[in-house]
Structure 1
């Protein structure tokens, strides 16, 4: 096997992921006060950083233009460069190396279930963003209404637009919204149930279920495409 094949081999990738996990554990351990100045942990962290730097240099020399065609490689290079810069110049950003754990997603090609999940998430993102914009619009309308209607009765929940947004988020999650928010307001404004029930129906039962629908639709599309490819191969 040539050097290029060795770099792309599963064994080498597993080695990289193992070192990333080790370095992540070391970085976490260094956050504890009694381990903050531990010379052994600091030495291991520096060895890991040196390994990452050598890895990037070898990959660039071997892969050349192909290296820069991969977004994962560019991400790794960006994080390694930031991690290698002196902290006296840009502050302590060594924690950024934790983002290298995301490289584990590159092994998804060897795990069909994980590859499928990542494909579903990627395909669903555009539609989920559109639903998020719709949800934000509903949030804004109800936040303005809530501030105008209940600011006097419940200033801690609807005193201004920011508080109303946070309150509506709490209501959406279902966290103590009925007893702590809705019922006390309904004692002053009996009609307030219309506001809260309509909001719950729109947000919890319609908008959020649309996200589930988008994900289910993406699953169906990906399965259909996979079945079509399999039929062509046969």
Structure 2
């Protein structure tokens, strides 16, 4: 149980942090810092700039890290009365991991890993762009369907590559001399790249090769690709529905702290109504008790003859 003197201070801190995090300018500032970090990261790819401005770029990197750390801490404090909601959000977990890993000694000593972490900060811009966030969520939800698509596609490629190796290995060893070359050739044909040349080369071997190429293009380029598009579109609709459901969710539990004035007024009115009702009931009960003896006497006289 939080001490009574501490609870209002904690409540005020949580509410103040929440107002800052939910304000429009906060998102704009963080997004601008992320874009500035991306620009500095791009500038560092020029060796001449790094040599001339090494100290300044290092100071900027420390400044970005300090700002991102303060942002994460502010978000955590804003969820102080419901910390579970903060850690249930995958975006928050990603932000915490990207910022926290930058403080590890192993990470700071590895320039490659540090650059990748700095690059990962750019991906945080997606949380401030709802449409990009929906697309990324859709990609994640489409992974199970995409894996099924890859299995079917791999099976199709293997079967057609083996058939191509059997019929074309002797006449066209450059493209069908092994299972690996045949798979690579057919994978390029899925994109319809070089289909005309492949068909002409096949017709020189046999006129029936048109059936081989036509069936493969039909299954690989049209059926499988449209299947993948359907999986992605379905996942996109689910992600958009999830985004709208999150926006429509009611706010979290009522914060700990003083009761708002309108609610106090309603509670006082309800208490007054209960008091009035109790007073009315008490008056009615007293009247009933006073009338009861008289009613009993009248009933007794009515039962006694000549009464």
Normalising by structure 2, what TM-score? 0.60
SS at match of 1:153: coil
Alignment of 1:93-112 (within 5 A): 93=113, 94-109=115-130
Tell me the equivalent position of 2:228. 211
> Are 1:72 and 2:91 matched, yes or no?
yes
In structure 2, the CA distance between the partners of 1:223 and 1:73, relative to structure 1 (3 Å rule), is: closer
Tell me the equivalent position of 2:175. 157
Tell whether the 8 Å contact from 1:151 to 1:159 is kept in structure 2 after alignment: yes
Report the alpha carbon displacement of residue 96 of structure 1 after superposing the two structures with TM. Answer: 2.5
Mind listing any 5+ residue stretches in structure 1 that lack a counterpart? 228-234
Aligned residues: 224
Aligned match of 1:3 in 7, 14, 17?
Answer: 17
Work out the CA distance in 1 between the residues paired with 2:145 and 2:218: 21
- Per-residue CA deviation, residues 118-170 of structure 1 (Å, 9 max, x unaligned), is 67656555434433322222122212222333333333322333322222221
Tell me the equivalent position of 1:173. 191
In structure 2, the CA distance between the partners of 1:125 and 1:192, relative to structure 1 (3 Å rule), is: same
User: Highest Rg: 1 or 2?
Assistant: 2
Report the alpha carbon displacement of residue 191 of structure 1 after superposing the two structures with TM. Answer: 3.0
> Are 1:146 and 2:146 matched, yes or no?
no
Bigger CA drift: 201-210 or 217-226? 217-226
Tell me the equivalent position of 1:46. 62
Please give the root-mean-square deviation of Cα atoms over the aligned residues, in Å: 3.4
Report the alpha carbon displacement of residue 198 of structure 1 after superposing the two structures with TM. Answer: 0.9
> Are 1:182 and 2:199 matched, yes or no?
yes
In structure 2, the CA distance between the partners of 1:167 and 1:42, relative to structure 1 (3 Å rule), is: farther
Larger RCO (CA under 8 A, 6+ residues apart): 2
Aligned match of 1:19 in 30, 33, 38?
Answer: 33
Work out the CA distance in 2 between the residues paired with 1:70 and 1:171: 42
Work out the CA distance in 1 between the residues paired with 2:224 and 2:195: 19
SS at match of 1:36: helix
Work out the CA distance in 2 between the residues paired with 1:222 and 1:72: 14
Bigger CA drift: 203-212 or 72-81? 203-212
Mind listing any 5+ residue stretches in structure 2 that lack a counterpart? 1-14, 245-307
Work out the CA distance in 1 between the residues paired with 2:109 and 2:28: 33
Normalising by structure 1, what TM-score? 0.76
